[in-house]
Structure 1
Amino acid sequence: MFGALAQKFFGTTNDRIVKAYRKRIGAINALEPELEALTDEALREKTAEFRQRLADGADLDDLLVEAFAVVREAAKRTLGQRHFDVQLIGGMVLHEGNISEMKTGEGKTLVGTLPVYLNALEGKGVHVVTVNDYLARRDAAWMGEIYQFLGLTVGVILHEMDDEQRRAAYACDVTYATNNELGFDYLRDNMKFQRAAMVQRPFNFGIVDEVDSILIDEARTPLIISGPSDDSSEMYRRVDALIPQLTEEHYEKDEKSRTVSFTEPGTERIEELLREAGLLEEGGLYDIENITAVHHVNQALRAHHMFARDTDYIVKDDKVIIIDEFTGRMMEGRRYSEGLHQALEAKEKVTIQAENQTLASITFQNYFRLYPKLAGMTGTAMTEAAEFADIYKLEVVEIPTNLPIAREDHDDEVYRTAKEKYDAIVEELAEAQERGQPVLVGTTSIDKSELLSRLLKEKKVRHNVLNARYHEQEAHIVAQAGRLGAVTIATNMAGRGTDIQLGGNLDMRIADEAAPIEDEAKRQAKIAEITAEVEAERAKVKEAGGLYVMGTERHESRRIDNQLRGRSGRQGDPGTSKFYLSLEDDLMRIFGSERMDGMLRKLGLQEGEAIAHRWINKALEKAQQKVEARNYDIRKNLLRFDDVMNDQRKVIYEQRIELMEAEDVQETVADMRQDVIETLVARHIPEKAYAEQWDAEGLRVEVERIFGVNLPIPDWAKEEGIADEEIRSRITDMADRKAAEKAANFGPDVMRMVEKSLLLQLLDQKWKEHLHHLDHLRQAVGLRAYAQRDPLNEYKREAFDLFESMLAGLRETVTQVLAHVEIRPREEEAAEQQLAMRQQAAFARMQESHPDPQAAAATDGADPMPQGSDRDGERAAAQPRRAQAQPQAATRQPAARMDKNDPSTWGRVPRNAPCPCGSGKKFKHCHGAVAAAGPAAE
């Protein structure tokens, strides 16, 4: 009670924060007359003036008022739009590295130009992150007019770009890109062998549009770059054929935690079926030798009983394509991992793609924490404010609307059955269309949107359906959803980033109808005609009540419901929102609908009647809060585990960059050689041991294996008074002498290049193997909880041991390979060309993936490592481009494409085969002159 009274008199914490920002608004507005009097050239010169002041010691905060005023004036001259005062507040919130929550239609895209321009003045680059390529391209072109007018450069990163185009875009003052492209570029950069080949600059400032979607919805799963592993598609097909033979008594399904598992009778039945199919040779299903069979049957069971066609995925063009749980869009190229996607392909009888092995990965949580300064904007962030503050150290500030919200939000209507609910929805839609009120209907899945569409067709209600099947037209459909009598059915929040304006979107109509007209006079006449039509229609729609947002089901997250609701009532427009629910809806069914059904029966609720009360809304919000809290715990748990790998990843990536930037790595190699020798001696000649306890013969064998030299170590051990230091010194002298001889024989330049390239290749190979080991550890460590051990602590300890072991293995392998390397004296340039050739051929099979958050939810309850997905096929096949990858992944190119003058087309060439250049020499004596006997050797 006292808290409510205090808020009434003093305002909320958010109100006080906003009030503090308002003090600068007056100063910005006071500069407007002065800037309006400047010529375009004089206004543009302000950028050079600001940069000079920064160079003279001023900081960005000193320039904020003037820079914001300059951007507003530039926006008026280029776009014909003037920033509202509340938009200036939003810009200040972003500049300070916080999240700006602004309602739909308040102009977040325009708000971003203020802090972007100010921070771009430093010349370090600003990244604006969007959720898809369409928005990145649109915003870069649209807002780019302001930046270019003021003398800044603007770039955009798109999926189809090559490395040169990407490097140029990242070098710009302002770069627009999707979260996926930024993350994959970071991973690819850290797989390259030359510093100059990297495309990204050091991180500076990032603004994330739709920050809740990227940093919350997609945070449970990592970005992955992977390479193909062994094909086991036949196994998936054979196991898939067994699952339909199971009955409900054979498995248990938990929809709350999205898990399914075999019961005891189910285990016996599947073992029997596997033996009949010849897939279980001996022992029980869970015996160690049958671990592969367990993997396949578990994924097949999940594919059949936890994932539904047209809800979780669709089948199109002989492919299983995931549907984003939060946006309803098709996620082309995104694949579930751990064999789940292959199990779905087997279930749907489409071509089964090969599984992949992880080469590099990072979560969005850890990627975006790389930015020294990060900000975000969205219409719905307050419900997740605690998570943003805890994980990203971002505060959420709610920005007041420019005009008061006139939307009327009704209480939910709850029906007993889904049929009654849909009958009521269809009736309401028909009435709304008759009075001319546009309606946006939100559904939670494709099949429900198409069911509603069929019912509307029977009732002869005109409508548009927007879901994953038709997402190509989503921007146009959503843009015109505010027209008179329009009924638009959208799956979740498909069409994000496109404003719904009452009477229709004028700019989009002009682009569609007037732009193609070549005659200028006719085009202007058409524009005037469209403008008049839109204005007249807007007045009629306002009179009809504005946009009516209708939800057909509650989502498990309040944010998604708020996003749908927020489509109505933009910029003070009238509007209405209401959710229609039934006790058969997923959220209602999972969270205690039986008790509510009994209560409604007692109240005498008749068929077709609904109950609406704010208490029901409160109860539903409580259920949603429980789900949100659980999902937050899952994401936090994932981050704790990923932080362990992230610390190791930072060490490896920093080491790689240091190696790439170094003129030579001779000193590093010498240190590794010394470490290996000390480890060998310590292992075979223990401290304080007597000479007769030494394993001199074992040391001799190891030295010969690693250095290729047979030293008389057993004889040394018999010498009077000899100590381990003397033996270590003799071995070191031999190793250093041999290395110096190689450098002298082959030339210092070639030797330094070979050392550097081999060190990078072997580091990548060891890191890849380490990631593989961590994957297995992460999947198994959860079982330690049964032994009363904390899985996280166990994972930290063992991951550290694995990392130490990897580094020791790297030192030994590098030392061994360099001791055995054979080099033919050639020009350094030719040797580097050969390395580039192998890297280019290797890249052709590198694949990218971003695991799907919904798949993660399916295993979150049982496993500290949520399931992910492999994004393979299209990305790699479409573009054999970009970064150099693991040399071991190289493949032989078809002979028809081979160009003797272009080594990058040769692929893997056997060392003793004739060189493809046509010289007549063996490959190893020509372009393959740099060769090594070891894991990275060709």
Structure 2
Amino acid sequence: MLGSIAKKIFGSANDRRLKGYRPKVAAINALEPEMLKLTDSELAARTVMFREELAAGKTLDQLLVPAFATVREAARRALGQRHFDVQLIGGMVLHEGGISEMRTGEGKTLVATLATYLNALAGKGVHVVTVNDYLARRDAEWMGAIYHFLGLTTGAILHGLDDDERRRAYAADVTYGTNNEFGFDYLRDNMKYELGQMVQRGHSYAIVDEVDSILIDEARTPLIISGPSDDKSDLYNAIDKVLPGLVREDYDLDEKQRTTNLTEAGNEHMEELLREAGILTEGALYEAANVTIVHHVNQALRAHKLFQRDKDYIVRKGEVVIIDEFTGRMMPGRRYSEGLHQALEAKEHVQVQPENVTLASITFQNYFRLYGKLAGMTGTALTEADEFAEIYKLEVVEVPTNRPVRRLDEDDEVYRTSEEKLRAITREIEAANAKMQPMLVGTTSIEKSEQLAEAMKKHGYKQIDFDEPQALQKLYAAARAQKQSKLFAVLNARFHEKEAYIIAEAGVPGAITIATNMAGRGTDIQLGGNVEMRVAQECAAVPEGPEREEREAEIRAEVERFRTQAIEAGGLYIIGTERHESRRIDNQLRGRAGRQGDPGRSKFFLSLKDDLMRIFGSERMESMLVKLGLKEDEAIVHPWINKALEKAQQKVEARNFDMRKNILKYDNVMNDQRKVVFEQRREMMAQDSLEGMIHDMRQGVVDDLITKHIPRDSYPEAWDIEGLTLSVKAELNIAPPLAEWAKEEGIDEEHMQERLQTAADEAYAARVERNGADVMRYVEKQVILQALDHLWREHLVTLDHLRQVVGWRGMAQRDPLNEYKSEAFELFNVLITHLRELTTSQLSRVEVAFEPPPSSIEATQVPAFDQSPRPDGALTAAFAAASSARAAPQSQEHVFSASDASSVDTLIREAGGGAASLAKVGRNQPCPCGSGRKYKHCHGAIA
């Protein structure tokens, strides 16, 4: 009560923040007459002026008003678009590192140019993050006109670019790209072996478009770079054949928690089936020897009982492709982990790809928290404001619309069965289409979008084939004649490539568009249709000149007529066929109507059989409706129903937030260690010589050996000289007279340590002199980096296994997170110890042999786990050889071969223990190693 009174008197926190921006908006507007008088060159010259002022000590905040005024005028000249006052406010929110919530159609893409330009003046690079490659390419070209006008450079990070192209894109003042590309580039950079091979140049400032989709929805899925492991496809296929033998009583299914497990009876039944199939040959199913079979059974059970084709994934060109549950988009290249994807492939009888092992990983939460300043924009963020504040320290500011919203949001209609709901939706579509009102029908899955499409066809409607050149002409013809076209379009993951084209024409009078979730589509639905899209399609073959200008004028006039018709019919009508778990997704769908003050309408049709209703207790509601005498095809419509649904959605959102927080708590432990490892790698790569670090490692190994075999303050008779001799040979590859030293009068552990250290240093110094200091400095760096990478990969696997089992410790009244932190810390200390031992052992065996290059080139195989261009694939082999040498002291020394001792460059090209010479391979020719990459991007990457 008091809160609502105070809000009326003083305004909300959001209102007060907006009020603080008004003086700056007025100051920017006051500069507009001055900007109009400037010539193009004078306007562009302001960029140089601003940079000089920054160098002289001014801050970006002090330059905000003149910089925003400059961008507004540049946009007017380059694009013919002038920023509205509310867009200036949105730009200020972005500059301050907040989230600008702006309704669909308010021009968020243009808003971003304000903060992007201002922050790009610092010269550290600005990253603008989009949800797909299409938007990254489009926005870089579209908004790039403004930046180029003002003398800034732009780049776009797209899938398929090589490292040189990525490096150039990151070197630009403004870089557009997807969240996946930015994240994977970060991981790949930290797997490189030379600073010059890295593509990113830091993380200064990022603006995330559709910030709720990227930082909330996708935050549960970490980015993982992986390599193939052993092929177990036969086992997946064998277990998949067994699984259909289970009956419903054999397993428990919890759709709310997305879990499924075998019951006690199911375990016994599964054991029988596995024995009959010859898969389980010894012991019971849950014995330690059969843990792999249990894992495969559990994943097959999940694949069959929890994951639905055309909802969670689709099968395309013989591959199982994941569908993003929030956007309805395909995610090619993304695979479920822990064997689930292989289980789905076996279920769908396509080729089972080998499982992968993790080489590097990071969550989006921790990647985007690398940025010095982070900002975002979306149409729907307020429902997740608490999560943005807690996880990312981002404040959500609701920016008012340029024009008042005229959309009418009606109460939901709830039916008893899915069939009744489908009939009601079809009747509603028929009624709206009769008056030529454009419609967008939102569904939650491909399967349901196609069910509705089939129902439409039964009522005489025809689906538009977008492969047909004149597909939309019938729709335009019907709009001209103001008659029903009986045509509809389907937009889901099956038609992903054509989504921009489909959605662009969804505002034509009489158009019916059935779509999966509309998050981040990036193309506005404009009443009457999209002029630019039609011009691009219909005038592609018309050359520049009077004829093209005349055709463009005709299209613009027709689109304007269509717009008037659509407005008279009531604007865009949004029909929701089901409530989503998240209110944001529903709001995104609704927000497609009523852009820029246009009229619009929205309504959701639900049934008690919908997933959300069914999972959250619709049985009681159904029995109540039967008692009240609800007849077939009758709906219940009441605001209370809306509120009850909203509460159910809030519960799901809270549960999902807890899941993401829990994931982040565990990942934060790994992230702290990841930062240390990645920072150490960068420092190592930046140094010309690691001689001091190598010496310290060798000294640490000597200390460990002495501590292990010689008890403190003990007599020589108690020393384990035999064990020490073997360990010294294994770790240091030397054989000093330890037994003789131990017999000397007055010897103690300190003297033994000093002598052993001196012997190890002298042996290594002789090795350096023999091989050449320059060569050894290079080899040292490669060896320590590869050793670190190898151990870090093993560490990631160990932490993953630890995380899977540590939860059981809660049954012993111990906090699983604290247990995980403690053990992860101990494991990291073990990693450091192993790094010291492995590096010392390997370098104690390195020899470089100089020999003439062989006459023919033999292809060598790049190791399967090699994910980044390496200067020398043979160093990986050297690492493996040294690893085995530690276990077998008698193993031979590894030999690096090179034809010229005078140049490290020559060594790099020809190293490989007698493998082929790469010295005469052209830089643009395929690399002889067989990797499939060009030589300059593979073994010649640093040559």
Aligned counterpart, 1:813: 838
Q: Would you say the 8 A contact 2:299–2:340 is kept in 1?
A: yes
**Other-structure match for 2:107:** 107
For these two proteins, the number of residue pairs brought into alignment is 868
Residue 699 of structure 1, CA deviation? 1.2
Instruction: Choose from 488, 493, 513 the match for 1:463.
Output: 488
C-alpha deviation, 1:765, in angstroms? 1.1
SS of the counterpart of 1:123?
Answer: coil
* More contact order relative to length (CA 8 Å, sep ≥ 6): 1
Which residue of 2 is the match for residue 362 of structure 1? 362
In the alignment, structure 1 residue 318 sits paired with structure 2 residue 318: yes
Show the 5 A alignment for 1:2-13.
2-13=2-13
State whether structure 2 residue 232 is matched by structure 1 residue 245.
Answer: no
- Contact residue 871 and residue 909 of structure 2 kept, 8 A: no
Partner of 1:753: 778
Q: What residue number does 1:281 align with?
A: 281
What is the SS of the residue equivalent to 1:201?
A: coil
Distance 2:159 2:150 in 1: 28
> CA separation in 1, counterparts of 2:689 and 2:72?
51
Change (3 A) 1:542 1:404: same
- 1:636 matched to which residue of 2? 661
Counterpart residue number, 1:620: 645
**Residues 706-715 or 47-56, more deviating:** 706-715
1:505 aligned residue: 530
Uncovered stretches (5+) of structure 1, i.e. residues with no partner: 848-879, 891-899, 920-926, 928-938
Deviation readout 1:383-429 (Å, 9 max, x if unpaired)? 00000000101000000000010000001000111111110100010
Find the residue that maps to 2:219 and give its secondary structure.
coil
Distance (whole Å) between structure 2 residues aligned to residue 395 and residue 909 of structure 1:
54
Inter-CA distance 771–542: structure 2 relative to 1 (3 Å threshold): same
Q: Is the 8 A contact 1:478 1:500 kept in 2?
A: yes
CA deviation digits over 1:189-246, x for unaligned, max 9?
Answer: 1111110110000111000000001000000121111111000000001000111011
Q: Equivalent residue of 1:242, what SS?
A: helix
Write the mapping of 1:551-630 to structure 2, written as runs, cut at 5 A: 551-630=576-655
Equivalent in the alignment of 1:374: 374
Q: 1:539 aligns with which of 545, 564, 573?
A: 564
1:389 corresponds to 2:389: yes
Relative to structure 1, the CA distance from residue 392 to residue 495 in structure 2 (aligned partners, 3 Å threshold; closer, same or farther) is closer
1:526 paired with 2:560, answer no
Counterpart of 2:600 in 1: which secondary structure? Answer: strand
Note the C-alpha offset of 1:13. Answer: 1.0
Aligned match of 1:822: 847
Q: Distance in 1 between matches of 2:24 and 2:918?
A: 69
Look up the match of 1:47: 47
Q: Structure 1's 410 and 819: CA in aligned 2 closer, same or farther, altered over 3 A?
A: same
Contact 2:782 2:875 in 1 (8 A): no
Q: Aligned residues: percent identity? A: 63
Match of 1:733 among 758, 761, 783: 758
| 1:508-530 per-position Cα deviation (integer Å, ceiling 9, x unaligned) | 11111124311511110111100
Matches of residues 92-103 of structure 1 in structure 2 within 5 Å?
92-103=92-103
Match of 1:432 in 2: 432
CA deviation digits over 1:356-399, x for unaligned, max 9? 11111111000000001000000000000000000101000000
Q: How many Å separate the matches in 1 of 2:874 and 2:846?
A: 19
Residues 184 and 223 in structure 2, CA contact (< 8 A), matched pair in contact too = yes
Query: In the alignment, which residue of structure 2 is the partner of 1:894?
Result: none
Match of 2:359, SS state, is strand
Q: Does structure 2 conserve the Cα–Cα contact (< 8 Å) formed by 1:440 and 1:490?
A: yes
Tell me the CA shift for residue 693 of structure 1: 2.1
The superposition leaves residues 296-316 of structure 1 with CA deviations (integer Å, 9 ceiling, x where unpaired) of: 110111111111111111112
For 1:577, give the aligned amino acid: S
Q: Encode CA deviations 1:454-487: one digit per residue, 9 max, x unaligned.
A: 1111112321011110111100110110110111
Partner of 2:168: 168
Hey, what does 1:85 align to over in structure 2?
85
**1:781 match:** 806
Residue number in structure 1 paired with 2:689:
664
Q: 2 CA distance for matches of 1:883 and 1:221?
A: 32
Cα deviation digits, residues 536-572 of structure 1 (max 9, x gap): 1111111110000010000000000000000000001
CA distance in 1, matches of 2:874, 2:335: 22
1:891-929, Cα deviation, whole Å (9 max, x unpaired): xxxxxxxxx9xx99x99998467768899xxxxxxx9xx
Evaluate the alpha carbon distance shift between residue 252 and residue 908 of structure 1 in structure 2; reply closer, same or farther with a 3 A threshold: farther
AA aligned to 1:276 is E
Cα distance in 1 between the residues matched to 2:326 and 2:876:
38
Output the CA distance in 1 between the equivalents of 2:510 and 2:556. 19
Contact 1:125–1:173 under 8 Å retained in 2:
yes
User: Considering only aligned residues, what root-mean-square deviation do their CA atoms show, in Å?
Assistant: 2.3
Q: What residue identity is the alignment partner of 1:96? A: E
- The 2-side partners of 1:129 and 1:210 are apart by 9
Matches within 5 A, 1:309-348: 309-348=309-348
Per-residue deviation, 1:283: 1.9
Unaligned runs of 5+ in 2: 462-486, 879-898, 900-904, 922-928, 930-943
Q: Which amino acid aligns with 1:68?
A: F
d(CA) in 1 for partners of 2:214, 2:130 = 9
Q: For residues 594 and 803 of structure 1, what CA distance do their matches in structure 2 show?
A: 51
CA distance in 1, matches of 2:744, 2:866: 56
- Aligned pair in 2 of structure 1 residues 790, 532: CA closer, same or farther (>3 Å)? same
What's the CA shift for 1:720? 2.1
Kept after mapping to 1: 8 A contact 2:369/2:392? yes
* In structure 1, distance between residues paired with 2:872 and 2:663: 30
- Report if aligned partners of 2:213, 2:519 keep a CA contact under 8 Å in 1: no
Contact 1:764 1:886 in 2 (8 A): no
Cα separation, partners in 2 of 1:842 and 1:190, compared to 1, 3 Å: farther
Q: Answer whether contact 2:210 2:520 (CA < 8 A) is retained.
A: no
Secondary structure, aligned partner of 2:138? helix
Task: Judge conservation of contact 2:909–2:919 (CA < 8 Å) in 1.
Answer: no
Number of the residue aligned with 1:896: none
In structure 2, what is the equivalent of residue 351 of structure 1? 351
* Partner-residue secondary structure (3-state), 1:127: strand
Letter of the structure 2 residue corresponding to residue 234 of structure 1: D
- In structure 1, give the amino acid aligned to 2:130: T
Answer yes or no: is 1:480 the counterpart of 2:480: no
The worse-fitting range, judged by mean Cα deviation, of 723-732 and 275-284 is 275-284
Aligned partners of 1:209, 1:92: CA distance in 2, in Å?
Answer: 15
Name the CA distance, whole Å, in 1 between partners of 2:189 and 2:15. 44
CA separation of 1:914 and 1:420: change in aligned 2, threshold 3 A: closer
Which stretch of the first structure deviates more once superposed, 552-561 or 780-789?
780-789
Amino acid across the alignment from 1:445: S
Aligned equivalents of 2:651, 2:602: Cα separation in 1: 24
TM-score normalised by structure 2 residue count: 0.89
The question of whether the paired residues in 2 share the 8 Å contact of 1:466 and 1:494 is answered with: no
Contact 1:844 1:881 in 2 (8 A): no
Give, in whole Å, the separation in 2 of the partners of 1:813 and 1:495: 48
The amino acid across from 2:834 in the alignment is G
Could you say which residue in structure 2 is the equivalent of 1:407? 407
C-alpha displacement at 1:317, in angstroms?
1.0
Give the C-alpha shift of residue 794 in structure 1: 1.1
Instruction: Assess if the C-alpha contact under 8 Å between 1:842 and 1:888 holds in 2.
Output: no
**Residues 420 and 608 of structure 1 are in contact (CA less than 8 Å); yes or no, is this contact kept in structure 2?**
yes
Q: Distance in 2 between matches of 1:768 and 1:103?
A: 44
SS in 1 for 2:220: coil
SS in 2 for 1:419: helix
What secondary structure does 1:230 align onto? coil
Contact 1:842 1:889 in 2 (8 A): no
Cα pair 2:711 2:719 within 8 Å, conserved? yes
Q: Equivalent residue of 2:689, what SS?
A: coil
Residue identity matched to 2:758: D
Secondary structure of the structure 1 residue equivalent to 2:844 = helix
Equivalent residue for 1:654? 679
Shifted more, 630-639 versus 719-728: the winner is 719-728
CA, structure 1 residues 913+496, in 2 after alignment: closer, same or farther (shift >3 Å)?
Answer: closer
Superposed displacement of residue 712, structure 1:
2.1
Does the residue aligned with 1:333 lie in a helix, a strand or coil? coil
- Partner AA of 1:467 in structure 2: N
Give the drift of 1:9: 2.1
